[in-house]
Structure formats: C-alpha cells, structure tokens
Structure 1
Amino acid sequence: MRRLFVLFFVILAIALSFSQVKNVIYFIGDGMGLAHAYLTSMIEGRPLSFMKTPYVGLVKTHSANSWVTDSAAAGTALASGFKTNNGMINILPDGTIVPTIFEVAKAYGVKTGIIVTCRVTHATPAAFYAHVKSRGEENEIAKQLIESETIDVVMGGGWANFLPKSLGGKRNDELDLIEIAREKGYAYVTTKSDLMQLPADAEKVLALFAPSHLAPASERSGDQPMLYEMVEKALEILSKDNEPFFLMVEGSQIDWEAHGNDVYGVWKEVLEFDKAVQVALDFALRRGDTLVVVTADHETGGLGLSAGDYMVDVEKIRGFTKTADWIMANYSTADKESFKEAIKEYFGLTLSDEDLERISASKKPSAELGKILSEKVNVGWTTTSHSGVPVPVYAFGPGAENFTGFLDNTEIPRIIMRLTGYTLQYPLVKEPTIK
C-alpha cells in the first residue's frame, strides 16, 4: 500500500493569516436529512436549535463510486476533504492514504475530541483518526485510535473492540488497548457517574459506556449519559486552559431509526442531537471565537412528510411512546391480541390482521412495523437504506457565512481548515465519474 501521506507537506505549509476561528464544534447527524429535522420540529411545535442558525446550505453526499454513499465514504469526505469508495476510510480508491482534519489540527497543537452514541470505532468517528480499506476492521480501528493518540477526548460505546477475548472483548491478538491507553495517560471511565466526577483538569479521556453501541435515546438511562451531557463534559475539559480545540459530535442513531422507518425513533434521536447542539451554541455565543457546523453524512430512509395525504397526523405521533424495535423485542406477532393491545397502548393505533400478516411475512419485521405505523400517521418512506438526496448544513459563529450555497461534502473540512488556518487550501478535487 502506497503511503503518500499528504500530512507531511501539510505540516510544513505556511499557515494562513490570523483567523477569528479558534475552536470548532462539528456536528454530524448520521442519516439526518432535512425531512428528519423538519418532522421533529413539527412534533415539538418549535424550530430546532440548529434551525435558528443564521447560515444554511445544501450538501451533496455521493461517494467516489456511488450516487448513494455509506457512512465510511461520507465520513472520509467530511473529515479529510476527499472522495473515496463506499466502505473505505481515509484511503482513496488508488490506495493513497490521506490525512484527517484532526491529524492536521493535532500538528498545530489543537486539542481534539469525538463524542458518539455508537461504537467509537464505527465508520463516522473512525473517519477522524483511522485509515483502513474496510470499515469492518473495527479491531484495527481501535488499535489505531490508541496508537495514534490523535484524539484527546473519546466518548461513546464499544469497549469490546479494545479488549482481548480473554477479558470479555472481541480481540484475538490479546492486546489490552484500554491498559495501553491508561499507560499513555488516558483516564478511563465506563459510567456516567464516573464521567461527571472527572476533574476538569483531565488531559486525556477514554469513556466507553457499553461493549457495543449505547442504548437508543428513547431508552437510555442509568449510567449511560445522554449526548448533551457528554458534550457539556467534553467542552469543560477541552476549553479549561483556553487553548484551541476541535470537537466532533455524532448523532449516531438517527440513521438506525430511519433504517427502521421509525417515526418515533427518529423524533427522539434528532431531539437528543438538537439538545447537544444547543449546548454548543450556548458555548459559542459566550465565547465569540467558536465555529459550530451542523450537517449530516447522508439521508436515510427517503423520508417524505406525506403518505398520499396532505396532513401528517402530528398529534397522533406525539402520543407514541416506544420504538418499533422495542415492540418487536418484547412482543410476538404470533400472539395477535397481545401484539395489537401493545400497539394500542404505546401508539394509540389499531392494527388489522392484514397489518400483522405484513409484519410476519417481512424479512425486516421491525422496519415493516415502523412503515405501517408511519402510514397510519401519513408519513412516507421510500427505502430502508440510504438515499442520494443532498443534506442541509447549518453554521453559527465566525466564518459561518462560508457554509451557504450548494456545496460538496468535501468542501466542508476544506472551508474549516481555511478558517482556522491549520493549513493552506487543498488542491481542487475533480468530480468522479459514477456509473
């Protein structure tokens, strides 16, 4: 594999003139299209926090080999400014390894952090520090995270990828990456209570709250923190000495709920994401030197705010209290009456025998239930996968006016770099030929 690490000449490049952008808080709503945000706004009866930012644009999301991207290729574009094939992380189709914006920032002494509600080795967070041909190499990604020391503050799930099987993890190489992280100076915590007790003067933090992903926002409780709580703590740690920092925050599970065509799940995940954005906006408003950028890696579900009728039944949606996944995990369609009663109790809706037959016959019963429930409140979906439609970008703070118009996703990290002065502008990237 050719290792033409562009980082070498990036570090040697002369920085641009002084910029007002000292800190960056970069939000990525995984799978969050405009309709996901607007539907949540409709249900809440108010604009979401990021909707009130003064500058808004649209972003193309295609990868190098497909009009419909996955999170690995989209994450690479958002973190490095280069297009690659689906499934690849910071390695181009020809094998060239490209640096991430965090690696460049680190070369300038900037503190960095990632906060997610999925495994920290999942595609989007990995795009900010790892270089692999396949996003499935999560054990290798975990190893790169600890060995590179690119990230100062890490919060999310996935401790199983950091531990050998002999210690309850997933690794075959007997490497205890958590112990190695401790030796490198990371404070390691696994509970919300321990996180909140961390002193503000902690320099490096590895916080892994689950062996895999965190619980969904609608079900998370106890010692797994909410996204906004992690953001509050990370900002306390990263900003304590008034040095520059760069924080990436992902609303990871918006995507999964949209894969399941789950209106309630999307609502609760977008709402959790928005609460975290509000924490960042409050911080930026107090400071005046912090840029907040909110976007998505792609749209999921092909969400339409209609299913053939002109009226989305917002009032009925407000009465939903569970996700379709939760129903399928706790009830069986084989017990028809019990299943129907559960739908009545948690959604206020009535299922027909035909509805039950659709769910039972489906290869994705949870998604089929989600689609049926959506239909009953006049919300439509076109797919249980990703779509190729552009996604919004919202910006607040110094330099926010640059995030308007019709952008490519590769432009977002390039604009951030120009505004922070981490590096000179990247060469232009030609549009790929997509079959």
Structure 2
Amino acid sequence: MKNRFLQLMALFFILPLCAVFAQEDYKVKDAKLTYQNEDFYDVEIYDHEQLKFKKYPKNIILLIGDGMGVSQVFAGITANKGILHLQNMKTIGFSKTQSASNYITDSAAGGTALACGKKTYNGAIGVGPDKEPIESILEIAESNGLATGLVSTSSITHATPASFIAHQPKRSMYEEIAADFLLTDIDVFIGGGESFFNQRKDGRNLTEELEAKGYQIFNSLDAASSVNEGKLGVLTAPAHNDKFSERGDMLLQATDKAVEILQKNKNGFFLMVEGSQIDWGGHANNTSFVVGEMLDFDKVVGQVLKFAASNRETLVIVTADHETGGMALEDSDIAAGKVQASYTSTDHTGVMVPVFAFGPGAAEFMGIYENTAVFDKMLKLYRFDK
C-alpha cells in the first residue's frame, strides 16, 4: 500500500513536469542539409495600382514566422520555383531583435517586444525588466471594443502567443500563462497546450471555467467547424501540434476560422498568427523541416492577403521574433525547387529580421528600426485616440 501511494505521488509530480519539458523538446539537432520540394503551388500576384486601400486599417493581422530570417524566406522562394505569396508584400523593412538582457533574444523577449512595445529580459512574458505587466496590443485592442484572436502551431501557452495575452516572469510558467486567459475577453484562440488547461497541478479545469465564461471549447478544428460566431477556444494538442508533414493544413484552417469569426465585429479586430516551427527546424539544422514550415506559413500568408485585398481595410504584417540556426543557402536550384543549406548555430542569432506589410498603413513599416517599433506602428495606425 505504501509503495502504491509513493508511485501515485511520483506520477502526480512527474506528469506535469513531462508536459513542461515537452514544450522544449524540439531543440534537438537533426541535421538534414538538403530539401527537394515535391509539392509546388501557384501564387496569385496582385496589381497594387488596382488596390484602393482605406487610409487607416480597421483590422490588423500580424503573422509571426518564429525563427524566420531572410535565408528562410529565400529558401521558401527557391523551393517553390522562385515565388512566394510573401512577394505580394511590396513594403519591406527590418527590425533589430536584441533584448534588454542579451544580444541574442529568445522568443519570450522577442514576442513581448512585438506585443507590448518594450524591450525586456530573455524569458519574460508580457512584463518589463522590473517584472511589472505591460499592456499588449491585443489587450489594448480588446479594451477599445475590437475582437481579438491568437493562432499558433505551438502550444498556445508557448512564448510567442503567450506574450500577447499573459504576464508572467518566466516563459516556463505554462499553467500560470494558461490561467491568464481567464483574465481577458479574447474572442478566438487556437493552438496546442490543452494539458495546461485541464491537467494541472492545482486541480483547476480551465476549460470548464472558460465554458462558464461563455466560450465554446473544442479539442479539434473539425469539431469546431460549424461554429461561426461567439467566443471560441480550440486546443488542438496536449502540448505542441505536429510538424507540417503530419498536421495537414491546421494553420490555414485555424486562421480562416479566426478571421471568419473576428470580422463580424463592426469595430474591427486584431489577430496574431504564429508559424512556430520554422524555428524548430532551425534549432535542428534540418533544411527539410525549415522549408516545409516556411511553405506552410506562406500558404497562410496567401490566404490572409486574399482577404485583405478584398476587404481593403485590413493591414497585414509578416515578421519574425528572431532568426534561428544561422542558416546560409548554398548551391541550390530554383528551377528544380531544391534547397541546400548550412548552419552556424543550433540556437537563435542576432541578425535583423524582415518586416513585410500590405494594406492600409503599410508604408509605416519601411526602414530599419527596433522590434518594439512594430507595436508602436500598429498602435499609431489603429488611431484609438481619435
């Protein structure tokens, strides 16, 4: 009996730890330097002279390719025989990614800079160097009557999406980050991380608490397919979602569902979509992983641009929190869709990352600036003070 009690107690402590460690288990080198694309896709090119955008955006969609530097972008261009949807975004700038504590940022500090407009220390989620909460663009949009949403191929409690909705001193505080969702009125969130909501050390079942607040909660996009209004949470995996080759078009479906619901708010909306696993391929030095995730992300960019080109009052921004892997392109072949790469690191690097913009206010994003300026520019263009 005593041994059984000890076994149960060990499981009580070990299972949550396994979920925590699973959040970082993608940082394993699995070098594969060559990628040969077999799944090419067409890209619609827009005539910018025919697009009559409004002067200011009613909606902003921020797409973050985690770990996406210019090499990752051009690897995608090479793999799809010279063209990506991203190339419709004629306004391009660069952001400097250094954090308050390190030359090389992590996703928590990088995400917080984009979400909240402040440099902070590596590991911080929505808090400044003093560990005090900083209001995010999502929270500001919400308080001004806009609909808000988060979509991610990682756990929704992971560093980048967490930076837009949570305020915690450490990125590893996944259960505390999940609990912060209850402190907001976010309209749509879709991503992994279900275990941090309903298999918690404190015994709380946050999915039930969210349902009590009026949320429709599902554990698959198929189950949520008929939902087209109201508050929605879809927790698509216990921890992270599978990589691109196994999860299908999850990111595309999730983004479409979020836009379908959020656009019904007459005041407008803010949506952040993260292609999380470009970063993971960089950590692994795996070119196949990097390029597959890059192409998956670009297909979502294409769908969002199609919406924005029709809507005419939606600003689309595509950027990264940092580059990962120090990826360098070698003797590749655009005509064949073949990518050959090498890497200088299995971690993040300190290089600038691109910022692409399309729609009303896009011109604001030209130039070289700190990553915090992305927040400043979004806030300026929303014109909440008018």
Compute the TM-score of the two structures, normalised by the length of structure 1.
0.74
Q: Which moved more, 1:290-299 or 1:278-287?
A: 278-287
Residue type of the alignment partner of 1:85: Y
How far residue 241 of structure 1 moved from its aligned partner, in angstroms, is 4.4
How far residue 315 of structure 1 moved from its aligned partner, in angstroms, is 7.5
Q: Could you list the per-position Cα deviations for residues 409-433 of structure 1 after superposition, in whole angstroms to 9, with x for gaps in the alignment? A: 0000110100011359xxxxxxxxx
Conserved? CA contact 1:77–1:84, under 8 Å: yes
Distance verdict in 2 for CA 1:421–1:172, change over 3 Å: same
Identity %: 42
How far residue 96 of structure 1 moved from its aligned partner, in angstroms, is 2.8
Residue 352 of structure 1 corresponds to none
Residue 140 of structure 1 corresponds to 176
Q: 2:237 aligns with which of 210, 231, 249?
A: 210
Find the aligned partners of 1:190 and 1:34 in 2 and give their Cα distance: 35
Find the aligned partners of 1:257 and 1:378 in 2 and give their Cα distance: 14
Helix, strand or coil at the partner of 2:108:
helix
How far residue 289 of structure 1 moved from its aligned partner, in angstroms, is 0.6
Conserved? CA contact 1:19–1:421, under 8 Å: no
Conserved? CA contact 2:108–2:160, under 8 Å: yes
Task: Please list, as runs of the form range in 1=range in 2, the aligned pairs for 1:146-225 lying within 5 A after superposition.
Answer: 147-163=182-198, 169=199, 171-198=200-227, 200=228, 202-221=229-248
Structure 2 unmatched ranges of 5 or more: 1-53
Is residue 2:379 matched to residue 1:417?
Answer: yes
Residue 348 of structure 2 corresponds to 386
User: Which of the pair has more CA radius of gyration?
Assistant: 1
Residue 258 of structure 2 corresponds to 234
How far residue 317 of structure 1 moved from its aligned partner, in angstroms, is 6.8
Residue 278 of structure 2 corresponds to 254
How far residue 240 of structure 1 moved from its aligned partner, in angstroms, is 2.5
Cα RMSD (Å) of the superposition? 1.7
Conserved? CA contact 2:80–2:337, under 8 Å: no
How many residues align structurally? 333
Compute the TM-score of the two structures, normalised by the length of structure 2.
0.83
Find the aligned partners of 2:265 and 2:347 in 1 and give their Cα distance: 43
Q: 1:283 aligns with which of 307, 317, 320?
A: 307
Task: Please list, as runs of the form range in 1=range in 2, the aligned pairs for 1:31-50 lying within 5 A after superposition.
Answer: 31-50=67-86
Residue 287 of structure 2 corresponds to 263
Find the aligned partners of 1:106 and 1:93 in 2 and give their Cα distance: 25
Q: 2:332 aligns with which of 297, 312, 334?
A: 312
Residue 72 of structure 1 corresponds to 108
Find the aligned partners of 1:316 and 1:283 in 2 and give their Cα distance: 31
Residue type of the alignment partner of 2:172: G
How far residue 262 of structure 1 moved from its aligned partner, in angstroms, is 0.8
Q: Which moved more, 1:34-43 or 1:90-99?
A: 90-99
How far residue 172 of structure 1 moved from its aligned partner, in angstroms, is 1.1
Distance verdict in 2 for CA 1:182–1:385, change over 3 Å: same
How far residue 197 of structure 1 moved from its aligned partner, in angstroms, is 2.1
Distance verdict in 2 for CA 1:394–1:117, change over 3 Å: same
Helix, strand or coil at the partner of 1:32:
coil
How far residue 279 of structure 1 moved from its aligned partner, in angstroms, is 1.1
Residue type of the alignment partner of 2:184: E
Distance verdict in 2 for CA 1:87–1:74, change over 3 Å: same
Residue 13 of structure 1 corresponds to none
How far residue 400 of structure 1 moved from its aligned partner, in angstroms, is 0.1
Structure 1 unmatched ranges of 5 or more: 1-17, 164-168, 319-376, 425-435
Helix, strand or coil at the partner of 2:274:
strand
Q: Could you list the per-position Cα deviations for residues 122-160 of structure 1 after superposition, in whole angstroms to 9, with x for gaps in the alignment? A: 000000011111000000000001x21242100010100
